[in-house]
Amino acid sequence: MRYSILFFTLFLIHSCQKPVNRPVFSEVIVEVLYEDSLSIRAIELMGGSLGFAANKGVFGTIDLQTKRVRTNSQKYDSIFPEFRAITHTSTDFFMLSVANPALLYKTGDMGKMELVYVEDGENVFYDAMAFWNDKEGIAIGDTVGGCLSIIITRDGGYSWAKLPCDQLPQ
């Protein structure tokens, strides 16, 4: 009986889907927007610009109309972070570094990046993040001691909290 209900549910879901017409591509044109000695590992489309973050603490934007590149760098004590993840909301830009310490920055009210989360740990390694609305976001990292690293925000990125292992699947 259980399998009949599951099969019927899957059948309904599949049969209700409309076919999607996807465009057929015959070629791809690659346009160089920015060249440097940086290792850019995070990009994000933000309206008419492309945000990026890289090694050496460098981050910036490229205006996709004018091709104007704006860069800046972020330093923490004597460390130039290795950024691997960025995201944005309608009002803010976020960037997250890998390795120890993990550093999460948010655009500040005074035009500078503000540090909103720090995590020290030998094996800490966050490498992905996203917001599903302007208030709620998530960052995910590698497992440490068998526990997935997940931090969340519910206030637009002003504060972040790490989920304890007992609230996560193994």
3-22: b (≥16 Cβ within 10 Å) or e: eeeeeeeeeeeeeeeeeeee
Strand blocks (E) in the chain: 40-46, 49-54, 58-63, 69-73, 83-88, 93-97, 102-107, 113-119, 126-131, 137-144, 147-153, 161-162
Write down the pLDDT at residue 3. 55
Q: Say how far apart CA 130 and CA 5 lie, in whole Å.
A: 35
Write down the pLDDT at residue 6. 55
pLDDT tens for residues 61-105? 999 999 999 999 999 999 999 999 999 999 999 999 998 999 999
Type of residue found at 105 = Y
Q: Facing residues of 103 across strands?
A: 118
- Residue 141, pLDDT above cutoff 60: yes
pLDDT tens for residues 142-154? 988 888 999 999 9
Q: Say how far apart CA 138 and CA 51 lie, in whole Å.
A: 18
